[in-house]
Amino acid sequence: MKKRWLVIISVCSFLLGAGGIYASMMWIFPNWQDPQSNQESGTVQILPTMEKVAEAYDLIQHAYVEEVDTKKLIQGAIQGMVATLQDPYSVYMDEETAERFNESMDSSFNGIGAQIAIQEGKLVIISPIKNSPAEKAGLKAKDQIIKIDGDSVDGLDLYEASSKIRGKKGTAVTLDIMRSGVSKSLNYEIVRDEVPILTVFSELKESGGKKFGYVEITSFAEGTAKDFEAELKELEAENIEGLVIDVRGNPGGMLISVQEILAQLVTGEKPYVQIEERSGKKQTYYSELEKEKGYPITVLIDEGSASASEILVAALNEINGTTLIGTKTFGKGTVQQPIPLEAGGNLKLTMAKWLTPDGNWIHGKGIDPTIEVQQPAYFNAHAIEYKEPLKLNMNDENIKFAQEMLKGLGFSPGRIDGYFDEQTEKAVRAFQSIEELPITGEIDEKTVAKLEGKIADFIKDEKNDIQLQVALKSLQKNN
Neighbours of 276 (CB within 10 A): 18
CA angle 202/204/210 to nearest 5° reads 145
Contact in structure between 353 and 276 (CB atoms under 8 Å): yes
Tell me the C-alpha distance between 189 and 146, whole Å: 14
Tell me the C-alpha distance between 396 and 389, whole Å: 11
Q: What is the DSSP letter of 417?
A: S
Q: Among residues 205, 270, 332, 353, which one is catalytic?
A: 332
SS3 percent helix, strand, coil of the chain, rounded to 5, is 30, 25, 45
Residue 332 among the catalytic residues:
yes
> Would you call 354 helix, strand, or coil by DSSP?
strand
Residue 86 among the catalytic residues:
no
> Would you call 281 helix, strand, or coil by DSSP?
coil
Buried b (16+ CB within 10 A) or exposed e, 225-264: bebbeebbeebeeeebbbbbbbbbbbbbbbbbbbbbbbbe
Closest to 17 in 3D by CA, of 224, 221, 168, 173: 168
Residue 307 among the catalytic residues:
yes
Q: Among residues 24, 336, 403, 467, which one is catalytic?
A: 336
Contact in structure between 234 and 316 (CB atoms under 8 Å): no
Tell me the C-alpha distance between 293 and 478, whole Å: 13
Amino acid at 341: L
CA distances from 39 to 36, 43, 199 (A): 6, 7, 44
Contact in structure between 222 and 190 (CB atoms under 8 Å): no
Q: Among residues 10, 259, 307, 467, which one is catalytic?
A: 307
- For the annotated catalytic residues, the residue numbers are 307, 332, 336
